[in-house]
Chains A and B, each alone.
Chain A
Amino acid sequence: MLTVEKLSKNFTMHILGNKRIEACRDVSFTVPQGGFLGLSGPSGAGKSTVLKCIYRTYLPSSGQVWYDSATSGRVNLAYLPDREVIDIRTREMGYVSQFLKVIPRVSALDVVMEPILARNGVTRCEARRRAGELLERLRIPAHLLDAYPATFSGGEQQRVNIAHAVSWRPRLLLLDEPTASLDSDSVDIVLELLKELRQEGTTMIGIFHDTELMEMVTDSVVRIC
């Protein structure tokens, strides 16, 4: 479903006198449909860089990112035109960042509801119901649903972040330390959600701080160094 071939990413900092920083070099791996791949390696090894290159927040410096898309067949995400990347992000590819980044002045419920409404073709009422249910499962107190996530605690923010990313059931999900700021109960809930999502066919690539946990949820691990 996703094959990364010899992916490298360098940053050239023009404002620091063209300083060149190598973030990752010659990374290759394959994830089969429905698989869950873990990326491991020391901090600074380029794990997040690889995820961002797949999502195209970073432009890969060299290498290929082959993705079997549901709507447009096999595409190379490394060189796909912007508009098509947007299409794939909208229809198939989700990303959970390390920290919640949402539009200010949008309530927690709306944050989670918006992707369902935009992508799954359901009514407002149904989207609201699904979003509410998901947030309840992730133990966001009911009285916080109409509050702004920017004011939430770190753990609550991360759970809203996960709800936002999984609510619309993407076909490919990229997870960058989704459980980093969660307590062990919340981690269990999140893992259960991810498990359900996999059963529905979502392919995942994840970075986890906790190696034990990573070995438990993923079915193969690639070490990046």
Chain B
Amino acid sequence: MIWMDDHRDDHEPNQDQQGRDQQGRDQQGRDHDQERPTEFARLLTELGGAAQRFLAGLRELPVEDLRTLGDDPLRELINLGARLGVDWSGTADELSEFVRRRMSGDYAVDEFGFDPEFTTTIVLPALRQLARTWFRVEVQGAENIPADGAALLVSNHAGGLPIDALVLQSVIYDEIERHSRTLGADLVFATPYAGDFARKIGVTLACQEDAERLLGNGELVTVFPEGFKGLGKLYSERYKLQRFGRGGFVSAAARARVPIVPISIIGSEEIYPQIVHLPALARILGVPYFPVTPLFPLLGVLGMIPLPSKWIIRFGEQIATDELPDGAADDPMVVYNVTDQVRETIQQTLYALLGERRGIFG
């Protein structure tokens, strides 16, 4: 525990320089083993501060409501939700009409399985709370999200679970009232409940056909080209973009002649600080990686509560694809160059944003 105190003193000014510093330090060949405890010491210190603030907030909870929960659970839960700021978006009549419709199957899903009513009424309000209260998301450059027409949104991906995808979808809806459609890995659709939920909120399989169909329909399509390589990053590799696949997303955008919007998210990389992976266990469970974080699997389900890091989401300037020459979509050189441009933009923005942020939980 000594190292913890040691470093509390010297880190104060800007811990988030780390992402940048680390590259420099790697080049100098400094020892990694020594660095790791330092990082976690800083993380834990900041977490302590955040926990204190959280406890302070907890004192304002409506305790009376919790005490009478047993009398009439449904009513109390709805009231409690209203007190805590959940917007039930409607009166009791509207709510019961909604339940009736849901139970009689009287709602529409599109060809991808997207259920706009369920998404807008149930999922987005919950995500809004998560984004605003838990992660305190700050949005920059919202004017770069196209208000109409198709576009391809490309973002970094991190955090163990695809929570960044959910938060991003909610933020985009709140900014311009459009549902962005995320492309997900096939593993998602092979997993019970996860795949079902994903389709209902508008996710579909990350494949050329679906990307082109969505763009052809004039939708906003979100891709995370890092995929599982990004999600499964260790804490020490945070904010270092992984390989961007084969640039299939650029081909899709070029073919549909839609702009690409680079998105940089910071904060998502700290929600589950992954210390090590257990590849053997992952293989047995058939998942791409099995992370060990300071709290998971130590605390089981509780360990799956994401840390309340401070998020900044910046929408970068659009990169046009309609000026590319004909046949660019099938030209590996052009595709590679555009992919690289998008990746560089996101990476540089990540470093810049890290400099801006006061602290992980700031």
Q: Decide whether A and B are members of one complex.
A: no
Binding site for B on A (CB under 8 A): none
